[in-house]
Amino acid sequence: MVNIPLLLMGCGGVGRQLLHHIISCRPLHSKQGVVLRVVGVCDSKSMVAVPDVLTSELGDQFLLQLCKVKSSGSSLRELANFGECQVFSGEEIAQKVADVAATLRKSSGLALVDCSASSQTIELLSQVVSLDCCVVLANKKPLTSSLEDYDKLVSKPRWIRHESTVGAGLPVISTINRIIQSGDPIFRIIGSLSGTLGYVMSEVESGRPFSEVVTAAKKLGYTEPDPRDDLSGMDVARKALILARLLGHRIELDSIKIESLYPVEMGPVVMPLEEFLANGLPLLDKDIQKRIDNASSKGNVLRYVCLIEESRCNVGIQEVPKDSALGRLEGSDNVLEIYSRCYSEQPLVIQGAGAGNDTTSAGVLADIIDMQDLYRG
């Protein structure tokens, strides 16, 4: 049996779904000769860990209880019964995680899993990688920090996986890595990597005003609480940066040209959300409609995409042929077109749900299992 000790940072929607997946996949994994042993879980304020990480684990009942407490919005430390577990907070957490890694590296190894949305986990992740332990990320922030941080994090490429950072559970990163490793140069990647903006752009194409579509998307729960978090393009830019760096581009986040779908004078610091929705958004309808008409006169449609080509990496609205994988996109799917020497006329296309707790955490779990050969005993 391969025994994989696991330490989870972040138990929001994705982290909790991961714990549920781990529990429900136990029969499957044991048939494959793998056992996942959760030795600790952190939220933003605390960490619970077993006293002896070499032998014990947080039991499934305990993990389910923990998920329940977290989904009610409480803090980890409000768990009623910690049993044997130890609880850490503040600076003790990083120290304890490093201790766990140092202890386990000599025996089995450790998977440190980042399902937080924090930029503060970078240092710890790098430290753990340098100890020859595995890290798996759903969190984009550590990979989109400075190049210096990035280089440290990926200094041992075999020990890090982050499939779910782009396109959630879709096999985007692994596909690109395989193409690169086969010596097939990728010269262009263009993709719609925001379910929200994919939905918005395909709906406005059918004639509905932009403001109406955004408002409806918000009501349907497709957008962030403040839709400007989606419309800014920042999340797409982080994904674009991860892909560009994978292709070897030595760039920083601020060198990506990002087109925001609202002007600065309608930004969150200037305009309250209510006013943006009621008075700001409708002012944007005419311009978008003009651009749609212009595109459609050429047989094109508009998509909000990331485009990586030569040394360029841009994020924003592009015209694409109506008769292409991107042009045919409807609803909230992600679509990625990859052009390389082998896929030069017709691109390799990856399409499917690019968000959601379920697919995202499934991608994280697959990453963990995929590295099983790195564990000893």
Ligand X SMILES: *[C@@H]1O[C@H](CO)[C@@H](O)[C@H](O)[C@H]1NC(C)=O
Sites of contact with ligand NAP (CB under 6 A) = 9-15, 42-45, 75, 115-118, 120-121, 138-140, 164, 168, 355-357, 360
Beta carbon of residue 138, minimum distance to ligand NAP (angstroms, whole number): 4
How many angstroms separate the CA atoms of 192 and 334, rounded?
A: 5
What are the residue numbers of the active site? 239
- Specify the amino acid at residue 53: V
Please give the residue ranges that form the binding site for ligand X (CB under 6 A). Answer: 13, 71, 290, 294, 319, 356-357
The token pair that represents 324 in the structure block: 């292409």
How many angstroms separate the CA atoms of 305 and 182, rounded?
A: 26
> CB under 5 to 8 A by kind: which of ligand X, ligand NAP, none does 71 bind?
ligand X
List the strands of the sheet with 300-309, edge to edge: 257-258, 312-321, 300-309, 186-192, 333-340, 348-353
Cβ atoms of residues 281 and 215 within 8 Å:
yes
Instruction: Please identify the residue of the shown chain whose CB is closest to the bound ligand X.
Output: 13
Cβ atoms of residues 367 and 114 within 8 Å:
no
Beta carbon of residue 111, minimum distance to ligand NAP (angstroms, whole number): 15
How many Cα neighbours within 13 Å face the side chain of 308?
30
Instruction: Please identify the residue of the shown chain whose CB is closest to the bound ligand NAP.
Output: 12
> CB under 5 to 8 A by kind: which of ligand NAP, ligand X, none does 319 bind?
ligand X
Name the nearest CA neighbour of 143 among 117, 167, 169: 117
Beta carbon of residue 354, minimum distance to ligand X (angstroms, whole number): 11
How many angstroms separate the CA atoms of 336 and 360, rounded?
A: 17
Residue 316 annotated in ligand binding? no
Q: Which CB, 108 or 357, lies closer to ligand X?
A: 357
> CB under 5 to 8 A by kind: which of ligand NAP, ligand X, none does 168 bind?
ligand NAP
Residue 12 annotated in ligand binding? yes
Residue 198 annotated in ligand binding? no
Number of helices (H) and strands (E), helices first, in the chain? 14, 13
Beta carbon of residue 283, minimum distance to ligand X (angstroms, whole number): 18
> CB under 5 to 8 A by kind: which of ligand NAP, ligand X, none does 117 bind?
ligand NAP
Beta carbon of residue 222, minimum distance to ligand NAP (angstroms, whole number): 11
The token pair that represents 133 in the structure block: 């332990």
The token pair that represents 21 in the structure block: 């997946």
> CB under 5 to 8 A by kind: which of ligand X, ligand NAP, none does 294 bind?
ligand X
Cβ atoms of residues 189 and 181 within 8 Å:
no
Q: Which CB, 115 or 256, lies closer to ligand NAP?
A: 115
Burial of 219 from C-beta contacts in 10 A (0-12 / 13-18 / 19+) = exposed
Q: Which CB, 250 or 290, lies closer to ligand X?
A: 290
What is the enclosing helix (H) or strand (E) of 290? helix 285-296
Q: Which CB, 63 or 266, lies closer to ligand NAP?
A: 63
Residue 14 annotated in ligand binding? yes
> CB under 5 to 8 A by kind: which of ligand NAP, ligand X, none does 347 bind?
none
What is the enclosing helix (H) or strand (E) of 236? helix 234-246
Q: Which CB, 29 or 140, lies closer to ligand NAP?
A: 140
Name the nearest CA neighbour of 22 among 33, 10, 6, 9: 6
Cβ atoms of residues 165 and 138 within 8 Å:
yes
List the strands of the sheet with 2-9, edge to edge: 86-89, 46-49, 34-42, 2-9, 111-114, 134-137, 160-161
Beta carbon of residue 376, minimum distance to ligand NAP (angstroms, whole number): 27
Q: Which CB, 139 or 314, lies closer to ligand NAP?
A: 139
* Residues in the annotated binding site for NADPH: 140
* Residues in the annotated binding site: 10-15, 140, 224
* Residues in the annotated binding site for L-homoserine: 224
